[in-house]
């Protein structure tokens, strides 16, 4: 079953259970996927929307939610914070689990030695290899800082 079909199934379940939070979040997700479908069908590079496109969309949506969560925490807006946190949790449930910092550091060290990186100038090579091998498992904002730290030793 594709990711889109899984989401549609979860949406139907939430309709049956009358869970307003999940219903609104799944509607938002399905609307975003529909927009992505339209975008992919128009323009010079026409293609079908696949699971990788949807995962990219989810990462972008999660990043937006994470930024909003931080703002709401600073401004003590617990009502809005709860909504954003629920959306974030639902989105993250469809993506592979992110590795913790310790595992990310080990993988970064392995790739640095594999690529033969010796300075920050080689960061692009390391990030490229990391994206090829572990795109779904690593938070690249944290990985970038880790790689920079490792290469500056």
Question: Given pLDDT bands bounded at 50, 70 and 90, which one contains residue 123?
Answer: confident
Instruction: Dump pLDDT digits (tens) for 53-101.
Output: 888 898 899 889 989 999 999 999 988 999 999 999 998 888 877 777 7
Instruction: Dump pLDDT digits (tens) for 11-53.
Output: 999 999 998 989 999 999 999 999 988 888 887 778 888 888 8
pLDDT at 118 exceeding the cut of 80: no
Q: Are the C-beta atoms of 53 and 40 separated by less than 8 Å? A: yes
pLDDT given at position 84: 92
- Torsion-angle region of residue 47: left (phi > 0), alpha (psi -120 to 50) or beta? beta
Question: Given pLDDT bands bounded at 50, 70 and 90, which one contains residue 139?
Answer: confident
Mean pLDDT of 122-144: 77
Q: Which of residues 149 and 38 earns the better pLDDT score?
A: 38
Q: Are the C-beta atoms of 81 and 72 separated by less than 8 Å? A: yes
Question: Given pLDDT bands bounded at 50, 70 and 90, which one contains residue 6?
Answer: very high
Locate tokens 């629920």: which residue? 86
Own/partner long-range contacts of 60-67 (Cβ < 8 Å, ≥24 apart):
61/29, 61/32, 61/87, 61/91, 62/88, 62/91, 62/92, 62/95, 65/91
């Amino acid at each position: 079953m594709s990711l889109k079909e899984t989401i549609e199934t979860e949406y139907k379940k939430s309709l049956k259970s009358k869970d307003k939070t999940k219903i609104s979040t799944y509607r938002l997700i399905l609307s975003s996927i529909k927009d992505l479908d339209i975008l992919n069908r128009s323009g010079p590079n026409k293609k079908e929307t696949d699971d990788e496109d949807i995962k990219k969309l989810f990462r972008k949506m999660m990043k937006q939610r994470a930024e909003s969560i931080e703002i709401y925490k600073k401004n003590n807006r617990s009502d809005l914070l709860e909504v954003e946190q629920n959306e974030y949790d639902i989105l993250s449930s469809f993506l592979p689990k992110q590795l913790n910092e310790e595992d990310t550091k080990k993988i970064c060290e392995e790739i640095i030695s594999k690529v033969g990186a010796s300075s920050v100038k080689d960061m692009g090579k390391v990030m490229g290899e990391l994206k090829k091998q572990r795109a779904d498992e690593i938070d690249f904002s944290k990985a970038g800082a880790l790689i920079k730290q490792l290469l500056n030793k």
